[in-house]
Amino acid sequence: MTVADISTLPAYETLKLIRDGCVLTITMNRPELLNAVNLKLHQELAEVFTFAAADEESDIVVLTGAGRAFSAGGDLEHILNNANNPDLFDEEVRLAKRIVFSILDLDKPLVCRLNGHAVGLGATLALFCDVIFAADSAKIGDPHVSVGLVAGDGGAIIWPQLIGLCRAKEFLMTGELLSAQKAAEIGLINHCVPAEELDRAVEAFCDKLMAGSRNAIRWTKVLLNQELKRVTHSLLDAGLAYETVSMRQDDHREAVKAMQEKRKPDFRRMNS
């Protein structure tokens, strides 16, 4: 296969797109910050899956991260800015909805190459993919509660769909990070493979899809996503509303202060 000239693809500041044959790879490209999500990455993620859906040259989409991480969640500077100016989060809410629904509306198979840790929104992005291959060195989790926030941007939707309500409650209410091996054992992700075999595993799966019936595969995905879309329409607005309210609470301000002071937040003091 020949990698396409990148000039035929849209240019992004925080994303890198490469088309290799019929496979379009979207790479979150802030490796120096572990692909943490700032406002610009939010904005570009809200656009890129719409492009991928319309891209006539690709039949399969792969989502991954540059460097050591898939995505380490919220960028610290971005978190601090939102904490000090909570009204800015209203724009992020709009973008979050576009990200989630553009992923769900993508009829092409979306494969996650989980090359490293996926945290918070990073975990949500990974888990909304159709099939997830993770390096055995990766961890995944949604620690919104660890910074005094509700996991409202998709975590409370997708985790129960994958591992059941009881397990989802345990991991979302504690913010625990799971090893890729544990995540595979409980069905949160599909495959945990040695890091050096990750590319080979993803490529082999993409080859298997490309050998199949394109329309049958796409329409099967569309059908499978109908219930997930229904649940998402029912819950996402409420989840984002709860997260917006939690951002304005003392617990979140305490968590942000603790991050600045490089200590653990003292929520008991705030709640006493």
Report the alpha-carbon distance of residue 219 to residue 217 in Å, rounded: 6
Per the CB < 8 A criterion, the answer to whether 131 and 111 are in contact is yes
Q: Is residue 1 part of a domain?
A: no
Greatest Cα pair distance in the chain: 62
Low-confidence ranges of the chain (pLDDT < 70): 1-7, 269-272
Q: Which residues form the domain of 64?
A: 6-271
Looking at the chain, how many residues does it have?
Answer: 272
pLDDT of residue 272: 53
Query: Which helix H or strand E contains 55, and what residues bound it?
Result: none
pLDDT of residue 1: 42
Number of domains in the chain: 1
The DSSP secondary-structure symbol of 266 reads: -
Q: Nearest-5° angle of CA 74, CA 11, CA 104?
A: 55
Q: Is residue 203 part of a domain?
A: yes
Categorise residue 112: left if φ over 0, alpha if ψ from -120 to 50, beta otherwise: beta
pLDDT of residue 2: 47
pLDDT of residue 270: 57
Q: Is residue 97 part of a domain?
A: yes
pLDDT in tens, 11-33: 999 999 999 999 999 999 999 99
pLDDT of residue 88: 76
pLDDT of residue 91: 84
pLDDT of residue 81: 79
Supply the pTM of this predicted model: 0.94
For 64-82, give the DSSP string. Answer: EESTT-SB-SB-HHHHHHH
Residue whose pair of structure tokens reads 């998402």 in the numeric block: 232
With the C-alpha atoms ordered 218, 162, 235, 152, is the resulting torsion angle positive or negative?
negative
Q: Is residue 161 part of a domain?
A: yes
Q: Is residue 231 part of a domain?
A: yes
Burial, 218: exposed, middle or buried (Cβ in 10 Å; 0-12, 13-18, 19+)? middle
> For residue 253, what is the domain's CATH number?
3.90.226.10
Report the alpha-carbon distance of residue 41 to residue 36 in Å, rounded: 8
Per the CB < 8 A criterion, the answer to whether 109 and 130 are in contact is yes
Report the alpha-carbon distance of residue 37 to residue 232 in Å, rounded: 22
Tokens of 126: 């990974």
Number of H helices, E strands in the chain: 11, 9
Tokens of 138: 């990766």
Provide the CA 107 distance to its chain's centre, in angstroms. 18
Q: Is residue 56 part of a domain?
A: yes
pLDDT of residue 260: 87
Q: Can you tell me whether residue 115 is helix, strand or coil?
A: coil
Q: Can you tell me whether residue 135 is helix, strand or coil?
A: strand
